[in-house]
């Protein structure tokens, strides 16, 4: 049991309420999915998951035959028939389901998937919430979730595969936090940054070796987990790298508009830590 400087007992879990609530919701949703029948779970995935081909068909970006042919001609030859059948199912459904731009982030492919995202969410979303407040943080989460989905769609407009997971939002929070966490010469010794720490620009972020090392390490860990988890059978599907990058870029671009701390034009940015 720990106490603060004036003798008050500190909470066992020192996370902002909105972050803790989001983590509990993600875990609860995945737990409930384990009790669903395979058919009910499949209906949930197709109803709430993001499917690029469904959006391409809805806005006239691609024809039904083009989507089915692409599914049958790409990817693992042993899975082409299954992909073609999936594409036919997506085309036959004929529904856009606009809510899927957001709801896909509530579902995950495995316990490894949901737990890893919850850990990253606690690490990256907490400093953003403490700086901006719950309302702006929720707005950022929504924007980065949509940005990640759009990036996945632009990269794979004919894909009938269902994308799920909060990784896009997590990437967005990481990008947002990086804009003010790394404005100090030694960010790892001063984590988390204070709520009034001045923000740098996305372009200046590229000059800081500590920031680049941190972002590269995060991407590497995600790649390693994805490569190791699938052979071990503890994760399903592939890593949607385009969505990760889309969420990260959206966070870098949107956060300055939501940040209540105004940035000084003459903010010095240390090139290295």
**What is the C-alpha to C-alpha distance for residues 35 and 40, in angstroms, rounded to an integer?**
10
**What is the C-alpha to C-alpha distance for residues 153 and 87, in angstroms, rounded to an integer?**
15
Q: Which pLDDT belongs to residue 81?
A: 81
Q: Which pLDDT belongs to residue 197?
A: 67
**What is the C-alpha to C-alpha distance for residues 41 and 92, in angstroms, rounded to an integer?**
19
Q: Which pLDDT belongs to residue 169?
A: 96
CA angle, corner 136, sides to 132 and 141, nearest 5? 115
Phi and psi angles of residue 262, each rounded to the nearest 5 degrees, phi first: -75, 140
Q: Which pLDDT belongs to residue 204?
A: 76
pTM: 0.82
pLDDT tens digits for range 73-96: 776 677 778 888 888 888 888 778
CATH 3.10.50.40 fits 17-59+97-258, yes or no: no
CA pseudo-torsion sign 166, 171, 177, 182: positive
Q: Which pLDDT belongs to residue 6?
A: 54
Q: Which pLDDT belongs to residue 40?
A: 96
Among 254, 244, 183, 186, which Cα is nearest to 215's? 244
Q: Which pLDDT belongs to residue 225?
A: 62
Count of other CB atoms within 10 angstroms of residue 237: 15
**What is the C-alpha to C-alpha distance for residues 64 and 58, in angstroms, rounded to an integer?**
10
pLDDT tens digits for range 184-221: 554 444 445 555 567 777 777 777 788 888 888 877 77
Ranges of residues in the chain with a pLDDT under 50 are 1, 186-191, 230-236, 266-273
Q: 3-state secondary structure string, the chain? A: CCECCCCCECCCCCCCHHHHHHHHHHHHHHHHHCCCCHHHHHHHHHHHCECHHHHHHHCCCCCHHHHHHHHHHCCCHHHHHHHHHHHHHHHHHCCCCCCHHHHHHHCCCCHHHHHHHHHHHHHHHHHHHHHHCHHHHHHHHHHHHHHHHHHHHHHCCCCCCCECCCHHHHHHHHHHHHHHHCCCCCCCCCCCCCCCCCCCCHHHHCCCHHHHHHHHHHHHHHHHHHHHHHHHCCCCCCCCHHHHHHHHHHHHHHHHHHCCCCCCCCCCCCCCC
Instruction: Please give the C-alpha separations between residue 2 and each of 6, 16, 19, 226, in angstroms, as whole numbers.
Output: 11, 18, 21, 36
Q: Which pLDDT belongs to residue 263?
A: 60
């Amino acid at each position: 049991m720990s106490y603060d400087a004036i003798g008050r007992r500190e909470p066992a879990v020192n996370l902002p309420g909105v972050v803790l609530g989001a983590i509990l919701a993600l875990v609860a949703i995945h737990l409930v999915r384990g009790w669903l029948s395979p058919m009910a779970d499949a209906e949930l995935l197709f109803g709430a998951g993001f499917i690029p081909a469904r959006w391409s068909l809805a806005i006239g970006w691609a024809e039904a035959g083009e989507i089915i042919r692409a599914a049958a001609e790409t990817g693992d030859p042993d899975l082409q028939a299954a992909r073609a059948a999936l594409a036919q199912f997506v085309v036959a459904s004929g529904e856009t389901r606009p809510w899927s731009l957001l709801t896909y982030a509530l579902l995950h492919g495995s316990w490894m998937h949901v737990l890893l995202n919850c850990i990253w969410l606690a690490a990256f979303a907490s400093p953003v919430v403490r700086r901006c407040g719950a309302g702006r943080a929720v707005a950022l989460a929504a924007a980065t979730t949509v940005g990640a989905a759009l990036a996945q769609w632009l990269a794979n407009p004919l894909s009938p595969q269902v994308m799920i997971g909060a990784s896009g939002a997590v990437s967005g929070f990481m990008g947002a936090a990086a804009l003010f966490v790394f404005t100090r010469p030694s960010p790892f010794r001063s984590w988390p940054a204070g709520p009034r720490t001045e923000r740098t620009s996305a372009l200046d972020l590229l000059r800081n070796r500590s920031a680049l090392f941190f972002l590269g390490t995060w991407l590497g860990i995600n790649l390693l987990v994805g490569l190791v988890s699938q052979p071990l059978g503890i994760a399903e599907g592939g890593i949607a790298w385009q969505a990760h990058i889309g969420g990260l870029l959206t966070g870098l671009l949107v956060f300055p508009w939501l940040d209540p701390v105004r940035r000084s034009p003459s903010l010095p940015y240390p090139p290295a830590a």
